[in-house]
Chains A and B, each alone.
Chain A
Amino acid sequence: MNEPLLREVVPAVIAVLVRRGADFASAEDAVQEALIRALEAWPDDPPRDPKAWLVAVAWRRFLDAARSEASRRGRELAVEIQPPAGPVPATDDTLRLYFLCAHPTLPPASAAALTLRAVGGLTTRQIATAYLVPEATMAQRISRAKKRIEGQSLDQPGDLGTVLRVLYLVFNEGYGGDVDLAAEAIRITRQLAALTDEPEVAGLLALMLLHHARRASRTGPGGRLVPLADQDRSRWDTGLIAEGVAILQAALARDRLGEYQAQAAIAALHADALSAAETDWVQIVEWYDELLTLTGSPVVRLNRAVAVGEADGARAGLKALAEVSPDIPRYAAVSAYLHERAGDLEQAAGLYAEASRAATSVPERDHLTREAARVRQLAH
């Protein structure tokens, strides 16, 4: 059994322990320990039934921990030592784990970490590596998150919107070191899509697949950022695009539009275009209008200004930009782009330089610096 398959059974194993009477926090700890043991032991000695192995080891861990806790407090052990073997866990149990890990009371970073561990089956070390923090820090973040949701029953219905936001955050984190968070987010969202019948879950999955399909073309030599219009479209993953489009179409046919479906629709229109010049910007603007109605988000308004600039000309784009607050991140970058398209090169160069100082990532900063240099050269 390979590691990704091992990870997939983790939420089901936690659910078994919880149904046997363990509280979520202890069950999750026990399964994490069993998982780490599995990663060590299985390469040399793979078990016949991986899930049963994990359940057995995790349950023993849980009992040991509960016993030492009980003796520390001088109390009787509350759980039965030999529980009946549970039936195959219902999918509902796994779904409720999603809700619990992305509980609305948790800060997003904690919810993301807990989701990756309890639903995604990643080890604390892997999560720490992905977020570039020390393992002890990540362990504390997870344990504080679990304390915060202590007493929350697994039986309560959850907030799917929060779950989707957490998965979206994880996806956008990309990848640091050996752990590919975008791929993990896709895997977890796939599982979620199999458990639910919500068009927005499908919409988010489609959005992720369509963006993931372009990943190879998004960075050039030395990690340089390649904007959509300049990407080598022959490097786009057509298999992922086809899958994303099919999932999106099925979701849209349900006629319950939401923000993720609308975003995925925009991504699909980009994916459809054989070249940047063939992009259907008029339809993209229409989708931004839908998205704006759904979310009212200022970031959507900003991106819409770019689309309007492509569909109706740079002057129209600048007019749309006038309705956006200049405090929005990337405002200067969008303004620079539209000014360049409108032929105001001097102003565009200054705005690109301003945007580079406000950039929030090194590739973005370097890209905007390069744009400033390029436009300044055109201006002279």
Chain B
Amino acid sequence: MKYLLLKHYRGGPAPVADLAPIDEWTPAEVDAHIQFMVDFAARLEKTGEYVDGQAVSPEGTFVRYDGEGRPPVTDGPFAETKDLIAGWMVIDVESWDRALELAGELSAAPGPGGEPIHEWLEVRPFLAMPPTVTE
């Protein structure tokens, strides 16, 4: 079963700790955080549970159709209050519980002072193809 682990720049439940932005950490803390992410993905590749991981820029916009012959309407750059996706990891695991377990581990990435940052991660199951045999 595939699951999407979504990381947000902002949005979602209120953060547990009000952490400083990453560029205000010490270089060693930044390194430790990045290394944790790299190691986490490498470990999941080894267990055969890693599918994909991508990061997206905080810059962007919302777009919608505005009728025939008109240019699309945009809304952005994003206001501070909006939920903003930072990136994702797709995992392919045995169960929902395993997905939660891994998301929990990922949320424990180290921050200032090497303490876990306790960030909220969103876990969403993929809607799969219907099975061939249904009866």
Residues of A near any B CB (own CB < 8 A): 221-224, 349, 352-353, 356-360, 362, 365-366, 369-370, 372-374, 376-377
Contacts and interface: CB of A to CB of B under 8 A. Distances in A.
Interface stretch (B22-30, B64-72, B122-130): B22-30
Interface in B1-52: 21-27, 29-31, 34-35, 38-39
Contacts of B24: 372-373, 376
Contacts, number: 45
Contact of A370 (B30, B38, B59): B30
12 contacts: A222-B34, A222-B39, A224-B34, A349-B23, A356-B23, A366-B30, A370-B30, A373-B25, A373-B26, A374-B27, A376-B23, A376-B24
A318 B101 CA distance: 50
Nearest to A356: B23
Contacts of A374: 27
B58 interface: yes
A373 B34 contact: no
A370 B35 contact: no
Contacts of A359: 57
Nearest to A349: B23
A358 B31 CA distance: 20
Nearest to A221: B35
Given A353-B23, A358-B59, A372-B23, A223 B38 contact: yes
B55 interface: yes
Nearest to A362: B55
Q: How large is the interface on B (under 10, 10 to 19, 20 to 34, 35 or more residues)?
A: 10 to 19
A360 B26 CA distance: 23
Contacts of A372: 23-24
Nearest to B38: A222
Given A222-B38, A223-B38, A366-B34, A357 B59 contact: yes
A369 B55 contact: no
A95 to B, nearest CB: 39
Given A222-B38, A223-B38, A353-B23, A370 B31 contact: yes
Contacts of A373: 22-27, 29-30
B58 A377 contact: no
Given A352-B23, A366-B34, 6 more contacts: A224-B34, A356-B23, A357-B58, A357-B59, A370-B27, A374-B27
A353 B23 CA distance: 6
Contacts of B30: 366, 369-370, 373
Contacts of A349: 23
Nearest to B22: A369
A350 to B, nearest CB: 9
Contacts of B22: 369, 373
B34 to A, nearest CB: 5
B61 to A, nearest CB: 15
Contacts of B26: 373, 377
Contacts of A353: 21, 23
A279 B75 CA distance: 47
B122 to A, nearest CB: 20
Nearest to A359: B57
A372 B20 CA distance: 13
A374 B24 CA distance: 9
